[in-house]
Amino acid sequence: MARILLIDDDDQFRTLLRKMLEKAGYNDVEEANDGRIGVKLFRQRPFDLVITDIIMPDKEGIETIIELTEDYPQIKIIAMSGGGRIGPQDYLETARRLGASRALAKPFNYSDLVDTVRELLGV
Amino acid sequence: MIADKKNGMSIPDRTHAELVAEIMTLRKHLAETEEDNRRLQQRCQDIKAIGAGEDEKYGLIAVDITDQKDIKLQLPHSHKMEEVEAMAGVIAHDLNNILSSMIGYTELAMDEPDEKERLYDLQQVMRSCDRAKSLVSRIISLSGGVNVDMQPVDLSILVMGTDPEQKTPGGSGERILLVDDDEMLVKLGRGMLMKLGYTVSEAADSSLALRMFMENPEAYDLVITDMTMPGMNGLELAREIRNIRTDIPTILCTGYSELVDEEKAKQEGFNCFIQKPLHIRELAVAVRDVLAGQKTWK
């Protein structure tokens, strides 16, 4: 069973992602509400996939991606963003360049998420 | 700071370690500012990768906005425009987050066989709607042009003690003429009012509404009208209707309009002013109070 780590500061959205993943059969999901906790959880026991938001109040996603990809070059990461001062595509482009395997622009739907996860995990 | 967009500077080639260090510095620097502005400023960080080459080096542009502590500061025009752009970005970001939950939970609800789970999903959709509603209030208050009461409605107060849905005599049959040019909203309003036990006639056009009322002015106990409509607006329609029958109670139900506010609605002779988007309870309270002859003006 693939283990997935969700990092997003939006509790409501994080719960939604968990529900979507569970619906798709991914029941081993852990959550973190910022990058600091996410990285800590990852170091304790690596995950098969990390799904992270980019703009978060404490430790944001770009920094999280940089840190994780440096220490775990084979890591699979999906970056998500609804944009900010620049559009979501710019943030996601940054994320991709910094090592995220895939990027999803918010808002996205169930199949956008599940297709991307399946593609990366191969299950 | 990393780079200054105003001066068009960017930093071409950076190692990972340097990038991390700079982002850390940027974050720390921003965190030193007032708590009220901290989140906004962090969200306004302008981080953008440019022209990464095959050698996997990265470039970065960032804007330090630490000095822009108070967004209400009287800044020169160009700075104001920057603030507007920054705010637009923040709003787009927040709205995309809210939309994500709306779309996702709706999808889950549509496909959820378990009644309890579906109710949970729908409650999350409603929560997202409330978040969107307060975001709109924030946008309106930032625009500064419309003086309306932007206090979020504390639904617990409405629910506490008296439940208007329960108190409204079910099927008491009071007859309401509902006018809104938005077909979806008129159908929604009709559904809500019928659920509350009222008999509803609907019109998606103000002149049709007036003709309906003229034909039989005694057929209605209350008129609820939208403000902005093609042809006659809500104020004009209500004036015409009151010309026909002076004692007809009226409720003005509007989105954010520069033409009208609570005070104006009161002056015009409306019995109540309610703002879209509406919860069924807000509608229930307004209709119940107006039909009971209770003054709803503070």
Q: Which of B232, B234, B230, B220 is nearest to B275 (CA)?
A: B234
What is the pLDDT of chain B when averaged over all its residues?
Answer: 72
- Give the pair of three-digit tokens for residue B291: 């039909």
Q: Are A110 and B70 in contact (CB under 8 A)?
A: no
CATH number of the domain that A73 lies in? 3.40.50.2300
Q: Are B208 and B219 in contact (CB under 8 A)?
A: no
User: CB distance from A93 to chain B under 8 Å?
Assistant: yes
Looking at the domain that runs over B163-291, which CATH code has it been given?
A: 3.40.50.2300
Please list, in sequence order, all residues whose beta carbon lies within 8 angstroms of the beta carbon of residue B80, skipping any fewer than 6 positions away: none
| Domain assignment present for A122 | no
CA distance B182 to A23: 36
Q: Look at chain A and report how many structural domains it folds into.
A: 1
pLDDT over 90 at B4, yes or no: no
- Which has more confidence, B13 or B22? B22
CA distance A104 to A102: 7
Q: Which of A25, A16, A67, A74 is nearest to A49 (CA)?
A: A74
Residue B77: pLDDT band (50, 70, 90) is: low
* Contact criterion met (CB < 8 Å) for B85 and A85: yes
| Domain assignment present for A31 | yes
User: CB distance from A19 to chain B under 8 Å?
Assistant: yes
B211: left (phi over 0), alpha (psi -120 to 50) or beta: alpha
In chain B, whose CA is at the least distance from the CA of A96? B49
- Which has more confidence, B51 or A79? A79
Give pLDDT, residue B242.
96
pLDDT over 60 at B5, yes or no: no
pLDDT tens-place string over residues B197-217? 999 999 999 999 999 999 999
C-alpha angle A84/A85/A90, rounded to 5°? 70
Give pLDDT, residue B41.
45
Give pLDDT, residue B31.
42
Residue B34: pLDDT band (50, 70, 90) is: low
Q: Which of A25, A24, A29, A21 is nearest to A3 (CA)?
A: A29
| Domain assignment present for A33 | yes
Question: In this complex, how many residue pairs, one in chain A and one in chain B, have their CB atoms less than 8 Å apart?
Answer: 117
A25: left (phi over 0), alpha (psi -120 to 50) or beta: left
Give pLDDT, residue B57.
35
CB atoms under 10 Å from CB of B293, counted, come to 8
* Contact criterion met (CB < 8 Å) for A106 and B52: no
CA distance B270 to B55: 70
| Domain assignment present for A123 | no
| Domain assignment present for A27 | yes
- Which has more confidence, A85 or B159? A85
Residue B154: pLDDT band (50, 70, 90) is: very low
Q: Are A7 and A57 in contact (CB under 8 A)?
A: no
CA distance B172 to B205: 27
Q: Which of B97, B81, B18, B63 is nearest to A55 (CA)?
A: B97
Distances (CA, A) of B294 to B65, B150, B252, B290: 52, 23, 16, 6
| Domain assignment present for A17 | yes
Mean pLDDT of B243-266: 90
Q: Mean pLDDT lowest for which of A10-19, A65-74, B150-159, B194-203?
A: B150-159
Please list, in sequence order, all residues whose beta carbon lies within 8 angstroms of the beta carbon of residue B74, skipping any fewer than 6 positions away: none
3-state secondary structure of B112: coil
- Which has more confidence, B88 or A21? A21
- Which has more confidence, B78 or A48? A48
3-state secondary structure of A52: strand
Range of the domain at A21: 3-117
* Contact criterion met (CB < 8 Å) for B101 and A110: no
pLDDT over 60 at B169, yes or no: no
CA distance B100 to A37: 23
Say whether the ipTM exceeds 0.90.
no
In chain A, whose CA is at the least distance from the CA of B94? A82
Give pLDDT, residue A16.
95
CATH topology (fold) of B78-143: Helix Hairpins (1.10.287)
DSSP string, B43-107: HT---EEE---TT--EEEE----TT---TTS---HHHHHHHHHHHHHHHHHHHHHHHHHHHHHHH
Cβ-nearest to A86 among B38, B48, B58:
B48
User: CB distance from A52 to chain B under 8 Å?
Assistant: no
CA distance B132 to B96: 10
pLDDT over 70 at B95, yes or no: yes
CB atoms under 10 Å from CB of A41, counted, come to 17
- Kindly report, as residue ranges, where domains of CATH 3.40.50.2300 are found in chain B: 163-291
Q: Which residues on B lie below 8 Å from A83 (Cβ)?
A: 89, 92-93, 96
